[in-house]
Amino acid sequence: MPELPEVETVRRGLAPVMEGARIVEAEQRRPNLRFDFPEDFSARLEGRRIEALGRRAKYLLADLSSGDVLVMHLGMSGSFRVVEGPDTLAPGDFAHARSKNPRHDHVVLHLETADGAPAHIIYNDPRRFGFMTLVPRAGLEAHPLFAHLGLEPLGNALDGAWLASAFAGRKTPLKAALLDQKLIAGLGNIYVCEALWRAKLSPMRAAGTLVTRSGKPSVAAVRLADAIREVLAEAVAAGGSTLRDHARTDGSLGYFQHSFAVYDREDEPCRHPGCRGTIARTVQSGRSTFHCRTCQR
DNA sequence: AGTGGGACCTGTCCGC
DNA sequence: TGCGGACAGGTCCCAC
């Protein structure tokens, strides 16, 4: 599920249960996901208290009382479910509590919440492109996973001037530049397509063309920065997008997919007022790009 | 520097 | 119904 809005939605679902909770048992059901788990994964979790659950780009970060940070990435197909109460998967559980495919439940954190109640956090990931690891808080920013991560797009720093300077001199297409986590961290295929459509910019246009000769940000750069912030904020407010699986930790669905203007809308009419174009699907760096050739320039 | 391809995995959908 | 191929929200690595 996971671009920034989906990861933030997951964070908001998990935080009320995880923050302040103690990890009673960490059940690791296979040796690896995308990467091997650390050898002492369970031992470094059990008995610790979760002090806060944060997010950086598409990573979830659980601060532990030990000084470690539990780093979690959902890959393409990772999801979390929360089950409250003493029995994890008892027959009487709500439907969402049972996994559609329990064989992909790879990690289960058994918690005692801040209120002293039992709760269970279940990580399911059919494709196993996600991963979890433990990193000391002190060295987190310098860790290879984070050292080269770019700007957080919902922070205050992303504006036209920043975009124009970050993209200056780059001949790579806007689509590729926006997907590059070293520049902006958190965008993925869907929201890049959507932001470019909102800004009426072609995904094929060279990223470096967003700068004017005077060095000031172009109108296009300002439009794009605004579009990125708006589409992400709206998607977060909608609980993210749910394409083919549960997005949220209580089993409910995000609904931003109903607001897609271009993603997965090949051959459908462009939604910009007055535009008679239709949405085209092309492939850029091996991934589908959806855009309107008529109004995106 | 930039691009294209393949790799990592499983599930689903579509056409024959 | 079965089977093969294409495709999927991410990222890394290698060859040109």
Q: How far is the CA of A178 from the C1' of B4 (A)?
A: 18
Q: Identify whether the C-beta of residue A258 lies closer than 8 Å to the C-beta of residue A229.
A: no
Range list of H helices, A46-159: 144-147
Show the domains of chain A with their CATH numbers. Answer: 4-139 (3.20.190.10), 160-292 (1.10.8.50)
Cα(A289)–Cα(A297) distance, integer angstroms:
14
* Full pLDDT tens readout for chain A, 297 residues: 699 999 999 999 999 999 999 999 999 999 999 999 999 999 999 999 999 999 999 999 999 999 999 999 999 999 999 998 875 454 444 444 556 788 999 999 999 999 999 999 999 999 999 999 999 999 999 999 999 999 999 999 999 999 999 999 999 999 999 999 999 999 999 999 999 999 999 999 999 999 877 768 899 999 999 999 999 999 999 999 998 777 788 888 999 999 999 999 999 999 999 999 999 999 998 899 999 999 999
The b/e string for A8-32 (b: 16+ C-beta within 10 A; e otherwise) is: bbbbbbbbebbbbbbbeebbbeeee
What integer pLDDT is reported at residue A216 of this predicted model? 81
What integer pLDDT is reported at residue A98 of this predicted model? 59
| DSSP letter for each residue of A150-196 | -B-TTSS--SHHHHHHHHTT--SBHHHHHH-TTTBSS--HHHHHHHH
Query: Distance of alpha carbon A129 from its chain centroid, rounded?
Result: 13
Asked if residue A128 keeps its beta carbon closer than 7 A to nucleic acid strand B, the reply is yes
Pick from A189, A188, A190, A200: which is nearest to A224 by CA? Answer: A200
Does the annotation mark A2 as catalytic?
Answer: yes
Q: Please, which positions of strand B sit below 7 A from a protein CB? A: 1-12
Q: CB neighbours of A269 closer than 8 A, spacing ≥ 6?
A: A276, A277, A278, A279
Cα(A79)–Cα(A177) distance, integer angstroms:
27
Q: How far is the CA of A179 from the C1' of B5 (A)?
A: 18
Q: Which nucleotide lies closest to A73 by the C1' atom and the CA atom?
A: C10
- Catalytic member of A48, A58, A170, A265: A58
Neighbours of A59 (CB within 10 A): 21
What integer pLDDT is reported at residue A92 of this predicted model? 41
Pick from A33, A39, A119, A118: which is nearest to A73 by CA? Answer: A33
| Residue A30 host element (H or E) | none
Backbone angles phi, psi at A32, to 5 degrees: -155, 160
What integer pLDDT is reported at residue A1 of this predicted model? 62
Q: Give per-residue pLDDT as tens, A92-133.
A: 444 445 567 889 999 999 999 999 999 999 999 999 999 999
Q: What single letter denotes the amino acid at residue A145?
A: L
| Window 263-292 of chain A: CB closer than 7 A to strand B | 284-286
Does the annotation mark A3 as catalytic?
Answer: yes
Does the annotation mark A58 as catalytic?
Answer: yes
What integer pLDDT is reported at residue A214 of this predicted model? 76
Q: Which nucleotide lies closest to A173 by the C1' atom and the CA atom?
A: B2
- Axis-axis angle for helices A189-198, A219-237 (nearest 10): 130
What integer pLDDT is reported at residue A272 of this predicted model? 97
Asked if residue A241 keeps its beta carbon closer than 7 A to nucleic acid strand C, the reply is yes
Q: How far is the CA of A7 from the C1' of B1 (A)?
A: 31
Q: Which nucleotide lies closest to A207 by the C1' atom and the CA atom?
A: B2
Task: Show the tokens assigned to A185.
Answer: 């961290």
Q: How far is the CA of A176 from the C1' of B2 (A)?
A: 10
Task: Show the tokens assigned to A4.
Answer: 């920034």
